[in-house]
Amino acid sequence: MIYRNFIAPSRAFSQFSHEIIRHPRLDSHAARLLTWQLSLPAHARETLSETAKRARIGATSFTTAKRQLKAEGYVHERRVQVGGGLWVTQQLVSSSPLRPEEAAKIFARMPVHSGVERVYAQVAPSTPVPAVGHPTPPSTDGHPEKHRRENTSDLPAEPGSGAGSGPEGEAGAASEPALTSEAMPGTEPASESASASEPQVPESAGEVPATTQLDEARALVGALPLLSPALRHIPPGMREELTRLTARWLAAGHTSADVHEHVLRGLPGAGTPVQRPGGLVRYLLREVPPRTLPRPEPSASPPGPRLSSRLQGARECASGAHTQPMLFRPVADEVLCSECLGWGPGGGPGV
């Protein structure tokens, strides 16, 4: 049996329904959080999280309790925007469950305020200090003072060398401003899509590819993104240049498999990012090596009928005294078997 002694308090008490304490879907933390909020004065602005800290309710238990109270209709929340562009979360705690439309009516009667007043000092801009000297425009042409051959992979044609005549000379002249802009200090190339202005690889007079080779090379370049994920972002503006380089490989007798294998060999290891895949492929295809056909390896076995692996090293007895061919394994350079030599069962010469 259990006995209860209840003394009605004369002050500091709250009135709420027993259903809150005996609710089957509210745990002890949810019931304590709700009763604590209902016991606060009407003018109190203590949030649910502050109540949980005072009641020593942990973060996980508080999240579960708040979710239970919102699911049963005891707690409702909404976010509103106040002056200054700030967003405020309003919470409504009720002693009885409310539907969302009932809670919206109560929210509409409540004043909206942020609770925090922020003051921003207005500072007038100060008078700037003028720079020393006269303004000078930046230089936009000409080579830098440093040597052009430093850190340069592809140099333009030297004046007077005879390479500036014809289509190759025009390509070299067109590539010289792009080389200058890359070497200028403080400037960086915008992207790989502007690679059409970069130095082109001149083609010799006897290496002009045919139309069929150009078509095959164009299809081969279009299949490069399928070889590796590092080649998926080749700029479209570089495909024509890569097509001409690939056509030179085909004109030299290389196959599509040779080109793909050469490109795959030049890619970095797994996990290494490729910043400029188009420039990497252009570098790999710039030099066309001569095609060498694989030579057949000379056979180590002597001419004649081949023996099985089980009979490797065996030799036929040369005495001629056997009805059928007699095979034996020589110990040294003997040509007769042990029976013809008269060796005993121990492996030595018989007595």
pTM above 0.75, yes or no: no
Structure-token pair, residue 102:
């009932």
pLDDT category of residue 44 using cuts at 50, 70 and 90: confident
Instruction: Output the pLDDT for position 201.
Output: 43
First-to-final CA distance of the chain: 116
Q: What are phi and psi of 92, to 5 degrees?
A: -120, 120
CB 315 within 8 A of CB 335: yes
Place of tokens 């030595």: 348
Q: What confidence tier does 301 reach under pLDDT thresholds 50, 70, 90?
A: low
The mean per-residue pLDDT over the stretch 13-20 comes to 84
110 phi and psi, to 5 degrees?
-90, 145
Alpha helices per DSSP H over the chain: 18-21, 28-38, 48-54, 59-72, 100-109, 166-183, 211-222, 239-251, 256-266, 277-285, 338-341
Q: pLDDT tens digits, residue range 146-204?
A: 655 556 556 566 665 554 444 444 444 444 444 334 444 444 444 444 444 444 444 44
Q: Where are the alpha helices (DSSP H) in 73-185?
A: 100-109, 166-183
pLDDT of residue 206: 42
Backbone angles phi, psi at 123, to 5 degrees: -110, 125
223 to 196, 218, 239, 255: CA distances (angstroms): 21, 9, 11, 14
Can you name the residues that pair with 336 across neighbouring β-strands? none
Q: Which residues are 78's β-sheet partners?
A: 90
**Which is higher by pLDDT, 323 or 99?**
99
Cβ(343)–Cβ(350) under 8 Å? Answer: yes
* Residue 26 reports pLDDT greater than 90: yes
Which amino acid, 314?
A
Query: Distance between CA 347 and CA 337 in Å, rounded?
Result: 11
Where do we find the tokens 């006995």? Answer: 3
Residues 125-155 pLDDT 10s: 677 777 777 777 776 666 556 655 556 556 5
The dihedrals phi and psi of 337, each to the nearest 5 degrees, come to: -75, 175
CB 164 within 8 A of CB 173: yes
Confidence of residue 124 (pLDDT cuts 50, 70, 90): low
pLDDT value, residue 310: 73
CA atoms of 339 and 317, how far apart (whole Å): 10
Quick one: pLDDT band at residue 107, thresholds 50, 70, 90?
confident
Ramachandran angles phi, psi of 93, nearest 5°: -110, 125
DSSP letter (8 states) at residue 14: -
pLDDT digits (tens, 9 = 90+) for 199-227: 444 444 344 456 788 888 888 888 888 87
Instruction: Report the interhelical angle of 277-285 vs 239-251 (nearest 10°).
Output: 20
Residue from 189, 198, 188, 190 nearest 155 by CA: 198
